[in-house]
C-alpha cells in the first residue's frame, strides 16, 4: 500500500517540493472533506497511509493549531481553519467560471443573481450580476445576509459542518436542524419574503469545489414574475454547470 497521498501535484521545473508539506496539507484536506470528527484509521484508509503515518500528521496538525482531538480520539479542523478561510474570497479565483453562468441566468430571468460565501459565522454576498451590469460587492454590512431568512444563508449553513452550524447558532438566529436536513435533501433553498418594501422570491443552490460547499448561487425575483419552478430549475441548472466546470478545473 502506498504511503504517498493522491495529490496529483506536479513540482515546477527545477523547484524541489517538500513531500512532508504535501502530506501535511493533504491531512488538512482530509479533515475538511470529512465534515465530521474522523478517526486515525479512517484518515489512514482515505489517504492510503499506514496508521502510524496518519497519526503522526494528525498530531502535527493538532500541535500547529489546525486541528483538535476530541474525547473520543477523533480529529476535526479547528476554528483556525475558518479564520484563515475568512481571509480568502473564493469568488476571485473562480470568477471566470461564475460570471458567464451568472450572466446567462440574469439574461433569462431579468433578475439579479448573487454568489455568497460564509465568512466565519456570517453569510456574505461577494459577487452580484444585475441586468446590464456586473458588480463586485465590497465586504461590509450591506453585503451580509441572514443565515435564517435568506436563501443563500440557509444554503451556506445547511452545507456547513455540524461544528460550524453550532458556532453560527451561538451568534446568529438559525433554523432547526431538520429544516437544514430538508434543504440538503432538496438541493436548494427557496424563500418568499419582503425585501426593500417589495415582495420577492429567492432561490439558492450550493456551489461545490472538491466536494466542499464553498458558496451559494442565488436569484432574487419579484414575487410572481416567474413560477417558483422556473427559478428553482434555473438555479439548479446554473449551479450544476458551475460545479461541473470547477470539478474539471
* Domain at 86-248, CATH class: alpha beta
Q: Is the pLDDT of residue 188 over 80?
A: yes
Residue whose grid cell is 440557509: 154
pTM of the full structure: 0.66
- Cα–Cα distance for residue pair 15/4, rounded to 1 Å: 19
**Phi and psi torsions of 6, nearest 5°:** -85, 85
Please name every residue paired with 216 in a beta bridge, in sequence order, or none if there are none: 116, 206
Domain ranges of the chain: 19-78, 86-248
Task: Give the integer Cα–Cα distance in Å for 203 and 188.
Answer: 7
Hey, what's the torsion of the CAs at 49, 54, 57, 63, to 10 degrees?
Answer: 180
Q: Which region among 77-81, 98-102, 107-111 has the lowest average model confidence (pLDDT)? A: 77-81
* Span 132-143, pLDDT tens digits: 755 544 444 347
Which CATH code fits 19-78?
1.10.10.10
| pLDDT reading at 79 higher than 60 | yes
Per-residue pLDDT tens digits for 136-172: 444 443 478 899 999 999 999 999 988 888 888 988 8
Q: What is the rounded CA–CA span in Å between residue 47 and residue 87?
A: 28
- Does position 116 have pLDDT exceeding 60, yes or no? yes
Same fold, 19-78 and 86-248: no
Q: What percent of the chain has pLDDT over 90?
A: 51
pLDDT tens digits, 6-50: 444 455 556 788 889 999 999 988 888 786 889 999 999 999 999
Confirm if 68 and 76 have CB atoms less than 8 A apart. yes
Does the pLDDT value for residue 91 go beyond 90? no
Q: Three-state SS for 75?
A: strand
217, 102 Cβ separation under 8 angstroms: yes
Q: Report the 10 Å Cβ neighbour count for 178.
A: 8
Amino acid at each position: 500500500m502506498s504511503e504517498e497521498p493522491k495529490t496529483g501535484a506536479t513540482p515546477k521545473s527545477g523547484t524541489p517540493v517538500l513531500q512532508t508539506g504535501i502530506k501535511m496539507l493533504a491531512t488538512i484536506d482530509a479533515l475538511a472533506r470529512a465534515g465530521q470528527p474522523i478517526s486515525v484509521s479512517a484518515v489512514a484508509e482515505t489517504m492510503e497511509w499506514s496508521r502510524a503515518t496518519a497519526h503522526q500528521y494528525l498530531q502535527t496538525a493538532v500541535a500547529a493549531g489546525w486541528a483538535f482531538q476530541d474525547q473520543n480520539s477523533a480529529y476535526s479542523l479547528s476554528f483556525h481553519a475558518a479564520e484563515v478561510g475568512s481571509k480568502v474570497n473564493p469568488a476571485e479565483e473562480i470568477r471566470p467560471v461564475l460570471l458567464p453562468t451568472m450572466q446567462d441566468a440574469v439574461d433569462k430571468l431579468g433578475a439579479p443573481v448573487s454568489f455568497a460565501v460564509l465568512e466565519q459565522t456570517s453569510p456574505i454576498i461577494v459577487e452580484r450580476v444585475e441586468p446590464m451590469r456586473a458588480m463586485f460587492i465590497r465586504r461590509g454590512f450591506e453585503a451580509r445576509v441572514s443565515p435564517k431568512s435568506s436563501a443563500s444563508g440557509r444554503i451556506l449553513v445547511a452545507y456547513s459542518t455540524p461544528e460550524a452550524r453550532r458556532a453560527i447558532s451561538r451568534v446568529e438566529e438559525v433554523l432547526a436542524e431538520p429544516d437544514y436536513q430538508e434543504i440538503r435533501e432538496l438541493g436548494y433553498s427557496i424563500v418568499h419574503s419582503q425585501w426593500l418594501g417589495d415582495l420577492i422570491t429567492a432561490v439558492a443552490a450550493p456551489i461545490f469545489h472538491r466536494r466542499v460547499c464553498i458558496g451559494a448561487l442565488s436569484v432574487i425575483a419579484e414575487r410572481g414574475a416567474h413560477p417558483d419552478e422556473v427559478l428553482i430549475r434555473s438555479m439548479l441548472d446554473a449551479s450544476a454547470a458551475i460545479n461541473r466546470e470547477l470539478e474539471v478545473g
